[in-house]
A and B are shown apart, each in its own frame.
Chain A
């Protein structure tokens, strides 16, 4: 049997699994996730540059399939994707300088800006329909169409949960990439996953001790301070005997068919030491 036949036979799975997968996934309760979902919705409404060809520094026309998600721009061999936090601003952030113009989202001659001190970001000036701020419910505030500076992020950083602890970098098992630009090797990842999992629920495991609470370095940033995170403020636990792993406090909710109400779970996300390309 070949893959195409297997793909066809996969069509025979039970009806309940087909129906189950069609249902809209239950939204997660973390405020920033809600924000991301809202950003995605606003991006969709705004008709941002998600399905357009993009021409950049190296002059290489780079097209993307609309079904494959947000358009990326290619610069010096690195793909930059629009920030998942939809960071937009009316003022060009300090330190960024005009580097050229490009076509994006159907708009011609959009200026773009780079900052040699922050090579992981590029700003493009194009139309948006939000001011980038969120309301009390965590939803992006819509506005009339207007031009703004929109952040695009190096794919090796975009969406990655990173903690800097005592000069070492740790990446969330949830976001560590094993493909394209792998953050860690598959063997390493699987070993840690086998020992700890990706997330654990309950009390701090034996041997791990509280080492402090992270300072928030900002979304899409590389945390550089002694104990800092690009996701927020979290308690961190470490075990001197297990230097490859730190535990970062978290919580999540479930609401399964067996649970009459939503259940909160407290626990820890597993972060593993890795060679941060931006260190």
Chain B
């Protein structure tokens, strides 16, 4: 079924919307979650929570042209949150590791009180990503959106792990410089 039709089912409050969503995207969503939580049962829980969240926020959201990305965003957020809450999950260490790496992108990480507008921030990040060449962008997104390991990225892109680490390191630095130029004091 077309994404647009599925979104219409949500708008009509037709519960088959969830069934159609699971049919079309369930496997991919579980995969995204499982990579984060590292546990298939937990990933399935996150998947179910994702459908519930989608049911609650469509409408007003209307992701007719980007339904998968919309759902993937939700399951990513739920899965990360799940990792934090279930510290027993082995993958919670990964979240700490990635958080530490992302902190390198922040001009003033010690400022705990500052909060920024999500939409404006996302626009800035998107401008930055748009300035990268495609391969660097995909590597960066694979690491910090999909939370892939360096080894996985290395294999997927047929490049050395050293190169992946170098690309990530330099891109993080560039992002920090970019945010500074954008006037962010996070």
A interface with B by C-beta (< 8 Å): 1-4, 6-22, 24-25, 27-28, 33, 36-37, 40, 65, 67-70, 159-160, 174-179, 256
Contact A20 B141 (CB under 8 A): yes
- State the majority secondary structure of interface residues on B: helix
Q: B133-176 vs A: 1/0 string, CB under 8 Å?
A: 01101100110111001111011111111110110010000000
- Nearest-neighbor residue (CB-CB) of A19 within chain B: B69
- Nearest-neighbor residue (CB-CB) of B109 within chain A: A2
Contact A17 B137 (CB under 8 A): yes
Q: Count of chain B residues with Cβ under 8 Å from any Cβ of A?
A: 68
From B68, B98, B104, B122, contact of A13 by CB (8 A): B122
Please report the C-alpha to C-alpha distance between residue A2 and residue B110 in the assembled complex, in whole angstroms. 7
Known: A68-B151, A159-B160. A18 touches B72 (CB 8 A): yes
A to B CB contacts below 8 Å, 9 in the list: A2-B99, A3-B99, A19-B68, A21-B138, A21-B145, A25-B138, A67-B152, A177-B162, A177-B165
From B72, B109, B144, B159, contact of A1 by CB (8 A): B109
Please report the C-alpha to C-alpha distance between residue A2 and residue B162 in the assembled complex, in whole angstroms. 26
Please report the C-alpha to C-alpha distance between residue A13 and residue B84 in the assembled complex, in whole angstroms. 21
Least CB distance from A128 to B in Å reads 18
Residues of B within 8 A of A13 (CB): 122, 125-126, 129, 141, 145
Residues of B within 8 A of A68 (CB): 149-151
Known: A4-B99, A40-B155, A69-B155. A11 touches B77 (CB 8 A): yes
Please report the C-alpha to C-alpha distance between residue A37 and residue B156 in the assembled complex, in whole angstroms. 8
Residues of B within 8 A of A17 (CB): 126, 129, 137, 141, 145
B interface with A by C-beta (< 8 Å): 28, 35, 38, 63, 65-66, 68-70, 72-73, 76-77, 80, 84, 90-91, 94-96, 98-106, 109, 111-112, 114-116, 118, 121-122, 125-126, 129, 134-135, 137-138, 141-142, 144-146, 149-152, 154-163, 165-166, 169, 186
From A3, A22, A174, A176, contact of B102 by CB (8 A): A3
Contact B162 A176 (CB under 8 A): yes
Residues of A within 8 A of B163 (CB): 174-175
Residues of A within 8 A of B122 (CB): 9, 12-14
Contact A9 B121 (CB under 8 A): yes
Please report the C-alpha to C-alpha distance between residue A88 and residue B2 in the assembled complex, in whole angstroms. 48
Please report the C-alpha to C-alpha distance between residue A8 and residue B82 in the assembled complex, in whole angstroms. 12
Known: A4-B95, A12-B73, A69-B151. 5 other contacts (CB 8 A): A10-B102, A11-B76, A14-B126, A17-B145, A175-B162
Please report the C-alpha to C-alpha distance between residue A275 and residue B84 in the assembled complex, in whole angstroms. 43
Contact B73 A18 (CB under 8 A): yes
From B102, B105, B149, contact of A69 by CB (8 A): B149
Residues of A within 8 A of B156 (CB): 24-25
